[in-house]
Amino acid sequence: MNQEEPQRNLALDLVRVTEAAALASSRWLGKGDNKKGDMAAVDAMRLSFNAIEIKGVVVIGEGEKDKAPMLYNGESLGTGNGPGMDVAVDPVEGTKLLAYGRPNAISVVALAPRGTMYDPGPAFYMQKIAVPSQAREHVDINAPVQDNLKAIASALGKSVDDLVVFVLDKPRHKQLIEDIRQAGARIQLHTDGDVAGALMAVSPDGDVDVMMGTGGTPEGVLTAAAIISMGGEMQCRLDPQSEQEKENLLSAGYDLKRVLTVRDLIQSEDVFFAATGISGGTFLQGVSFTGQGALTRSMVMRGKTGTLRRIESLHSFEKLMRISAIKYK
């Protein structure tokens, strides 16, 4: 067996990035302005990346440089020293959740070796099914919903009516919701946040057994880093929601019938992932202000070792504001 000396776990650097984004954006909780909340997170995240020893390039970001003054695709991040890394960012996953004070808004970042992340190109949406490790060999995105739920239940040692399925509450899921109900499974309907939904499904202590439905393609790539770390599985297939998106995908040579797994979305196990709760929820608690500072809760993962850490951090604003360029108050 080849054994290695312990190496730097970049996920422990990444959590400082997601904590900063969560602290900055949480000031906008429930204030109805998703743009200002997102921008606060973006600014904090960009500044925090300056301290990480990587040559990072954003593969999953906020859009091309000329369309978004944010963490745009192709932007360089990090000090410019250290390993070359693909970077996936979602400063606020669930901007509407943050704006309207709803649970499960989170800040998320993932890293993978340069050139290993799937480029979604013009793909905005993909159909997904995400399950924990026990069921990873028992799902088929091309199979009927009822067949998948039976197979998942069997793999988990449950009956179908024990299962809880995470589904985004969107018009496009009307038939999916009906099929799940007919199969006998229970449903959690969420307005937004399919990264959180997939994490809830694959987490060993989550209260969701499977995530089903169509969500964002960039979010699927970001989620893959966490699923690789936790040993679960997610099958995906591009699912354009407009004729224009479909035409763009076909013109660019994308195969709309191809089934993608997490190994297609990120072609490496040497991945790093961090997420910090912003608005709270049963899955990942949000930012709590203490009067003198704040408490954050995060999850941190490294794919190569399969280690998942839950980190609770107490931040002192009196000390932070002496040295930090980020506005936390």
Token duo for residue 57? 């390039």
94 marked among binding-site residues: yes
179 marked among binding-site residues: no
3-state percent helix, strand, coil for the chain, nearest multiple of 5: 35, 25, 40
**Phi, psi of 93, deg, nearest 5:** -85, 105
Place of tokens 């506005």: 327
The two beta strands, 272-277 and 186-190, are unpaired
192 marked among binding-site residues: yes
Give the H/E segment covering residue 274: strand 272-277
253 marked among binding-site residues: no
CB 39 within 8 A of CB 70: yes
264 marked among binding-site residues: no
Q: How many helices (H) and strands (E) does the chain have?
A: 10, 13
Instruction: Tell me the residue type at 154.
Output: S
95 marked among binding-site residues: yes
Token duo for residue 95? 């901007």
193 marked among binding-site residues: yes
Which residues are registered as beta bridge partners of 55?
84
- Local structure of 181: helix, strand or coil: helix
Alpha-carbon distance 48 to 329, whole Å?
17
Report the Cα 310 to chain-centroid distance in Å: 16
5 marked among binding-site residues: no
Half-sphere CA count of 229, side-chain side, radius 13 A: 27
DSSP 53-95: -SEEEEEESSS-TTT-SSS-TT-EES-S-S-EEEEEEEEEE-H
116 marked among binding-site residues: no
93 marked among binding-site residues: yes
172 marked among binding-site residues: yes
Nearest alpha carbon to residue 328 among 281, 283, 296, 299? 296
Nearest alpha carbon to residue 287 among 7, 40, 122, 43? 40
30 marked among binding-site residues: no
281 marked among binding-site residues: no
CB 166 within 8 A of CB 159: no
Tell me the binding residues: 38, 62, 90, 93-95, 125, 170-172, 192-194, 216, 219
Residues in binding site for substrate: 93-95, 125, 170-172, 192-194, 216
- Could you list the residues known to form a binding site for Mn(2+), using ranges: 38, 62, 90, 93, 219
